[in-house]
Amino acid sequence: MAKHIQVKSREYQQITITKIFTKVIVVAQVFGYFPLSGVLEADPTKLRFSYKTPIAIYSILTLLGASFMLAMQLTKTIAIELTIFQAESLTYYAGSAYVGITFIDLAKKWPKLMADWEAIEKHMKNYGPPKGLNKKITILMVLFLSAAADTFFFNYIDVFIMIVSICLSSRMAQVTEAIRSASDCHVREERVWAYLREDYTRLGQLCRTVNKIISNAILVSFLPNVLIILIQVFNSIKPLHNYLEAIYFYFSLVFLISRTVAVSIYGAMVSEEGRRPLNILNCVSSDVYNNEIEIFINQISNFEILLTGKNFFSIRRHIILEIAAALVTYELVLIQFNQEYLNSYSKSNRCV
């Protein structure tokens, strides 16, 4: 048994949460986001944020560049008129500027979060590292970031939220399986159930802390994505000139929808894994049931674990249906308000 624990501990030392996030942050820093120093250090206490570091200066210059492009686009829009196509460009540049602000704010709070997260990881080292977590995150990064590098900041912030969600839900799933195992083995000792509840409580508190820190990122992920999907679907009404244009258009649309759905699914996994123990605890046999289990049930029932976009919306599985319903509604409104443009476009094509 001691040998088994030692092996798990050694495996844990190889794959820590800070090591997983190292590659995520390094990729962001190449493009001027996440201005943290000490990222390549193994010790999370080495992480630092300072405006005087080269990476921070690079991030500020990136932000200024995005802000300049936004100002130019605003000037152009005011000089001409606000059309749906001008709105798409404004969304793009405003989103890029806000992403820069978001990651500077994240960088300020990230060292403390990583220190707290690492402490919980060490406490849970006997669970071992979540199976295949590192590989899953690497595949996810390569798949999404290489598919559309021309819109890197939107891609990256979506991938970032997915990775954080996977890390949280994977740990929560381990606690859930431990609860299931204790229930199946008819464990009667209240001490065991108290330990499980403490692990769940620590992870629940971590999820709430993470949500406070990344809720801005969640907001800037969902809102531009939904708006751009709305505009892209509107653009699909227009005839396309050639096959190459059609391929590019439909690939970008499908990729954007897939990315939004993926963020929704992975984000919702945090909420789902937080609720899964409740079903197990409610089915515990009567000879096992005790005060700790009753407290555990009340705790899960009264304090929901989930990710939100600045409390404007919560990421649950049914958010996909809500987004779809909103898209259909606003698409009809968009078509109605732009009917004159569509009619003129149709006439010009008939003339040609």
- pLDDT one-digit tens code per residue, 259-302: 899 999 999 999 999 999 999 999 888 888 889 999 999 999 98
Q: What is the pLDDT of residue 9?
A: 41
Q: What is the pLDDT of residue 343?
A: 60
Tell me: do 164 and 104 sit in the same domain: no
Tell me: do 31 and 64 sit in the same domain: yes
Q: What is the pLDDT of residue 4?
A: 37
Tell me: do 151 and 229 sit in the same domain: yes
Q: What is the pLDDT of residue 15?
A: 58
Tell me: do 63 and 210 sit in the same domain: no
10 within domain boundaries? no
User: Which of 123, 143, 168 corresponds to the end of one domain?
Assistant: 123
CB neighbour burial string for 102-129, b if at least 16 within 10 angstroms, e if fewer? bbbebbeebbebbebbbeebeebbebbb
Tell me: do 145 and 93 sit in the same domain: no
Q: How far is residue 225's CA from residue 156's CA, in Å, rounded to a whole number?
A: 13
9 within domain boundaries? no
Q: Give φ, ψ of 308 to 5 degrees.
A: -135, 160
Tell me: do 117 and 130 sit in the same domain: no
220 within domain boundaries? yes
State the pTM of this model: 0.86
Total structural domains within the chain: 2
152 within domain boundaries? yes
**Over the chain, what HEC string results?**
CHHHHHHHHHHHHHCCHHHHHHHHHHHHHHCCCCCCECCCCCCHHHCECCCCCHHHHHHHHHHHHHHHHHHHHHHHHHHCCCCHHHHHHHHHHHHHHHHHHHHHHHHHHHHHHHHHHHHHHHHCHHHCCCCCHHHHHHHHHHHHHHHCHHHHHHHHHHHHHHHHHHHHHHHHHHHHHHHHHHHHCCCCCHHHHHHHHHHHHHHHHHHHHHHHHHHHHHHHHHHHHHHHHHHHHHHCCCCCCCHHHHHHHHHHHHHHHHHHHHHHHHHHHHHHHHHHHHHHHHCCCCCCCCHHHHHHHHHHHHCCCCCECCCCCECCCCHHHHHHHHHHHHHHHHHHHCHHHHHHHHHHHHHC
CB neighbour burial string for 274-310, b if at least 16 within 10 angstroms, e if fewer? bbbbbebbeebeeeeebebbeebbebbeeeebbbbbe
Tell me: do 85 and 138 sit in the same domain: no
Q: What is the pLDDT of residue 130?
A: 84
Q: What is the pLDDT of residue 32?
A: 86
Tell me: do 277 and 345 sit in the same domain: yes
Tell me: do 287 and 143 sit in the same domain: yes
Tell me: do 202 and 105 sit in the same domain: no
**Structural domain boundaries enclosing 43:** 16-123
Tell me: do 149 and 166 sit in the same domain: yes
> pLDDT tens, 198-213?
999 999 999 999 999 9
Q: How many CA atoms lie within 13 A of 74 on its CB side?
A: 8
User: Which of 98, 123, 148 corresponds to the end of one domain?
Assistant: 123
User: Which of 69, 96, 123 corresponds to the end of one domain?
Assistant: 123
Q: What is the pLDDT of residue 273?
A: 93
342 within domain boundaries? yes
11 within domain boundaries? no
Q: What is the pLDDT of residue 251?
A: 84
Low-confidence ranges of the chain (pLDDT < 70): 1-15, 42, 83-85, 147-151, 238-240, 337-352
181 within domain boundaries? yes
Tell me: do 164 and 97 sit in the same domain: no
Q: Note whether 264 and 319 are within 8 A (CB).
A: yes
Q: Note whether 222 and 309 are within 8 A (CB).
A: yes
3 within domain boundaries? no
Residue bearing tokens 């798409």: 88
